[in-house]
């Protein structure tokens, strides 16, 4: 079955899932048990901390769901909640020590996988892929730009 019979959505999803699977696998192996749902929220936390509502929007879940997931992450020590100095209603979700430990681990797997992909595609095609995806982001990403992982 030739690739051009597959729609671009699926074509995008296949490598995405492959990468995600390997990241979770590695993290679990290192003793960091984090679920995909939790990760989707965790990934969006900015360097200075993010509000729950922000996280909910970007992860495309309701505030309730985001709150529930942050509760779990907090209980497991991955994040903490601090009062937002600029708004007494709000609290900032920040990455805590245990959460910070996961970042270099995840980054290492991602780098490995990107190296494998570049080896398979060749430097030219890999660069083309990255360039095209970057440009596609302009019309498909409603949000600024989340951090690592």
Question: Within 95-124, which residues bind DNA (CB under 7 A)?
Answer: none
Of 47, 20, 34, the residue nearest 147 (C-alpha):
47
Sheet holding 50-51, edge to edge: 50-51, 91-95, 79-83
> Residue 87: which of DNA, a copy of itself, none does it interact with, CB under 5 to 8 A by kind?
DNA
User: CB 110 → a copy of itself: shortest distance, Å?
Assistant: 5
- Placement of tokens 């490995």 in the chain: 112
Interface with a copy of itself, residue 135, by CB under 8 A: yes
Q: Can residue 28 be called a binding residue for a copy of itself (CB under 8 A)?
A: no
With beta carbons less than 8 A apart as the criterion, state whether 145 and 62 touch.
Answer: no
User: Residue 73: in which H helix or E strand, if any?
Assistant: helix 63-75
Q: What are the angstrom distances between the C-alpha of 17 and each of 13, 48, 91, 116?
A: 6, 29, 32, 15
Q: Please give the residues from 56 up to 85 whose contact with a copy of itself meets the rule CB under 8 A.
A: 60
Residues that bind DNA (CB under 7 A): 35-38, 40, 51-54, 60-65, 67-70, 72, 81, 84, 87-92
Residues that bind a copy of itself (CB under 8 A): 1, 3-20, 23, 43, 60, 110, 113-114, 116-117, 120-121, 125-126, 128-141, 144-146, 148-149
């Amino acid at each position: 079955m030739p690739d051009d019979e597959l729609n671009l959505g699926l074509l995008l999803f296949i490598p995405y899932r492959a990468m995600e699977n390997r990241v979770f696998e590695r993290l679990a192996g290192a003793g960091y048990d984090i679920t995909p749902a939790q990760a989707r929220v965790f990934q969006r936390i900015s360097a200075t901390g993010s509000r729950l509502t922000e996280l909910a929007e970007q992860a495309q879940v309701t505030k309730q769901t985001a709150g529930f997931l942050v509760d779990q992450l907090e209980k497991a020590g991955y994040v903490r909640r601090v009062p937002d100095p600029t708004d007494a209603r709000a609290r900032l979700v920040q990455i805590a020590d245990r959460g910070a430990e996961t970042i270099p681990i995840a980054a290492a797997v991602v780098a490995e996988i990107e190296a494998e992909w570049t080896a398979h595609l060749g430097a030219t095609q890999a660069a083309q892929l990255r360039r095209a995806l970057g440009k596609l982001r302009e019309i498909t990403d409603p949000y600024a730009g989340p951090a690592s992982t």
